[in-house]
Structure 1
Amino acid sequence: MTRAAGLRSDERDRIRYAWRLLSVVCLASLMTGINVSSLNIALPAIVDGLDAGPVAASWILLSFQLTHVTLMIFFGRLADVLGRRTMYLTGVAVFSAASLLAGAAPDVGLLIACRVAQATGAAMLIANSAALVTAAFPRRLLGQGLGFYMASFSLAQMLGPTVGGLVTTELGWRWTLLLNVPVGVVCLLWGLRVMERVPRSGEPLRLDPAGNVLVVLGLGGLLVALSQGGTTGWTDPVVIAGVVAFVVALPVFLIVELRVPFPVVDVHLFREPVVGVGVLAGFLGTMSRFAVVLLMGLYFQAVQGDTPSEAGLKVLPLAVASIVSSPGAGTVLRWVRARTMAAAASSVSLAGLVLLLVVIDVDTPYPLLITAVVVIGLGSGAFIPANSTAMLQDVPPDRLGITNAVRLMAQSSGVVVSTAVTLTLISLPLPAALRGHVLDGSIARVEPAALDGLITGFRWAFGLMAVMAALCVLTSLVGRRTTRDVPGPATAVTDVEG
Structure 2
Amino acid sequence: MRKWLPLMTVCLGTFILLIDVTIVNVALPNMVGDLEASFGALQWVIDAYALALAALVLGAGSIADLVGHRRVYIAGLAVFAMSSLMCGLASDAGVLIIARTVQGVGAAAMFATTFALLNSAYAGRDRGSAYGVWGAVAGASAAVGPVLGGLLTEHASWRWIFFVNLPVSAVGILLCVTMLADTQVPARGRVDVGGMASFTAAAACATYALIRANEEGWSRSEVWWLLALAAVLLAVFAAIEAHVPHAMLDLGLLRDRSFVGVLLAGFLLTFAAFAAFTYTSIWLQSVLGLSPLAAGLTGLPMSITAFGVSAGLGRVLHGRRPDLVIGGGLLLVGIGGLLTAAGLRGSAGWPALVPGFAVIGVGVGLATPILGSVSMSRVAPERGGMAAGAVNTTRQLGFAFGIAALGSVFAGRARSDLSGHGIPDAADVARAIAGGRAPGLLDAAPPGVRHLLDDATHTAAVSGVQATYIVAGAVGILAALLVLVLVRPVGTHVSPQDARPVRQP
Please tell me whether residue 152 in structure 1 is matched to residue 137 in structure 2: yes
Residue 293 of structure 2 corresponds to: 309
45, 55, 77: which one pairs with 1:60?
45
Residue 18 of structure 2 corresponds to: 33
| 1:212 shift after superposition | 2.3
- Distance (Å, rounded) in 2 between the aligned partners of 1:458 and 1:217: 31
Whichever residue aligns with residue 432 of structure 2, its letter is: G
208, 224, 227: which one pairs with 1:224?
208
- For the 8 Å contact 1:337–1:485, the answer to whether it is kept is no
- For the 8 Å contact 2:338–2:474, the answer to whether it is kept is no
Whichever residue aligns with residue 68 of structure 2, its letter is: G
- Distance (Å, rounded) in 2 between the aligned partners of 1:484 and 1:113: 50
Residue 428 of structure 2 corresponds to: 433
- For the 8 Å contact 1:338–1:485, the answer to whether it is kept is no
- Distance (Å, rounded) in 2 between the aligned partners of 1:77 and 1:419: 27
- Distance (Å, rounded) in 1 between the aligned partners of 2:459 and 2:124: 52
- For the 8 Å contact 1:278–1:387, the answer to whether it is kept is yes
Unmatched segments (≥5 aa) in structure 1: 1-14
Residue 474 of structure 1 corresponds to: 481
- For the 8 Å contact 1:85–1:198, the answer to whether it is kept is no
Residue 418 of structure 2 corresponds to: none
SS in 2 for 1:331: coil
Whichever residue aligns with residue 70 of structure 1, its letter is: A
| 1:325 shift after superposition | 1.2
| 1:409 shift after superposition | 1.1
Change (3 A) 1:240 1:334: closer
Unmatched segments (≥5 aa) in structure 2: 416-425, 444-452
Change (3 A) 1:304 1:189: same
- For the 8 Å contact 1:339–1:387, the answer to whether it is kept is no
| 1:438 shift after superposition | 3.1
Bigger CA drift: 371-380 or 42-51?
42-51
- Distance (Å, rounded) in 2 between the aligned partners of 1:67 and 1:478: 31
SS in 2 for 1:332: coil
| 1:427 shift after superposition | 2.2
| 1:85 shift after superposition | 1.2
| 1:199 shift after superposition | 6.1
Whichever residue aligns with residue 461 of structure 1, its letter is: T
Change (3 A) 1:354 1:485: farther
| 1:158 shift after superposition | 4.7
- Distance (Å, rounded) in 2 between the aligned partners of 1:452 and 1:233: 21
- Distance (Å, rounded) in 2 between the aligned partners of 1:440 and 1:299: 7
SS in 2 for 1:301: helix
Whichever residue aligns with residue 464 of structure 1, its letter is: V
Deviation readout 1:391-433 (Å, 9 max, x if unpaired): 3235321222211111111111111111111123212333343
- For the 8 Å contact 1:346–1:383, the answer to whether it is kept is yes
| 1:114 shift after superposition | 0.1
Deviation readout 1:288-315 (Å, 9 max, x if unpaired): 1121432322231133211111101122
- For the 8 Å contact 1:287–1:414, the answer to whether it is kept is yes
Change (3 A) 1:209 1:334: closer
- Distance (Å, rounded) in 2 between the aligned partners of 1:336 and 1:326: 14
Please tell me whether residue 286 in structure 1 is matched to residue 282 in structure 2: no
Please tell me whether residue 458 in structure 1 is matched to residue 465 in structure 2: yes
How do 1:176-215 and structure 2 match up within 5 A? 176-196=161-181, 198=183, 200-201=185-186, 203-204=188-189, 206-215=190-199
Q: Could you tell me the TM-score, scaled by structure 2's length?
A: 0.88
67, 79, 82: which one pairs with 2:64?
79
SS in 1 for 2:314: helix
- Distance (Å, rounded) in 1 between the aligned partners of 2:273 and 2:499: 35
322, 342, 349: which one pairs with 1:338?
322
Residue 152 of structure 2 corresponds to: 167
Residue 408 of structure 2 corresponds to: 424
- Distance (Å, rounded) in 2 between the aligned partners of 1:485 and 1:100: 51
Change (3 A) 1:484 1:412: farther
- Distance (Å, rounded) in 1 between the aligned partners of 2:60 and 2:407: 29
- For the 8 Å contact 1:100–1:181, the answer to whether it is kept is yes
Change (3 A) 1:158 1:229: closer
- Distance (Å, rounded) in 2 between the aligned partners of 1:119 and 1:85: 18
- Distance (Å, rounded) in 1 between the aligned partners of 2:301 and 2:368: 18
Whichever residue aligns with residue 267 of structure 2, its letter is: F
Whichever residue aligns with residue 428 of structure 2, its letter is: A
- For the 8 Å contact 2:49–2:104, the answer to whether it is kept is yes
Residue 332 of structure 2 corresponds to: 348
Q: Could you tell me the TM-score, scaled by structure 1's length?
A: 0.89
Change (3 A) 1:290 1:210: same
Bigger CA drift: 119-128 or 368-377?
368-377
| 1:95 shift after superposition | 0.2
| 1:83 shift after superposition | 0.7
Please tell me whether residue 326 in structure 1 is matched to residue 321 in structure 2: no
Bigger CA drift: 252-261 or 32-41?
252-261
CA RMSD after TM alignment? 2.5
| 1:455 shift after superposition | 2.8
Residue 420 of structure 2 corresponds to: none
- For the 8 Å contact 1:288–1:468, the answer to whether it is kept is yes
Bigger CA drift: 249-258 or 87-96?
249-258
Change (3 A) 1:274 1:483: farther
Change (3 A) 1:483 1:75: farther
Bigger CA drift: 34-43 or 226-235?
226-235
- Distance (Å, rounded) in 2 between the aligned partners of 1:41 and 1:485: 48
Bigger CA drift: 310-319 or 248-257?
248-257
Bigger CA drift: 473-482 or 47-56?
473-482
Residue 367 of structure 2 corresponds to: 383
- For the 8 Å contact 1:214–1:253, the answer to whether it is kept is yes
| 1:487 shift after superposition | 7.3
Deviation readout 1:239-287 (Å, 9 max, x if unpaired): 2432231232233332332222233322111122221221122212222
Change (3 A) 1:69 1:159: closer
| 1:86 shift after superposition | 0.9
Whichever residue aligns with residue 226 of structure 1, its letter is: L
Residue 252 of structure 2 corresponds to: 268
Please tell me whether residue 94 in structure 1 is matched to residue 79 in structure 2: yes
SS in 2 for 1:262: coil
- Using the aligned pairs only, state the percent identity: 27
Residue 6 of structure 1 corresponds to: none
Residue 447 of structure 2 corresponds to: none
Change (3 A) 1:356 1:221: same
| 1:462 shift after superposition | 1.6
- Distance (Å, rounded) in 1 between the aligned partners of 2:5 and 2:121: 10
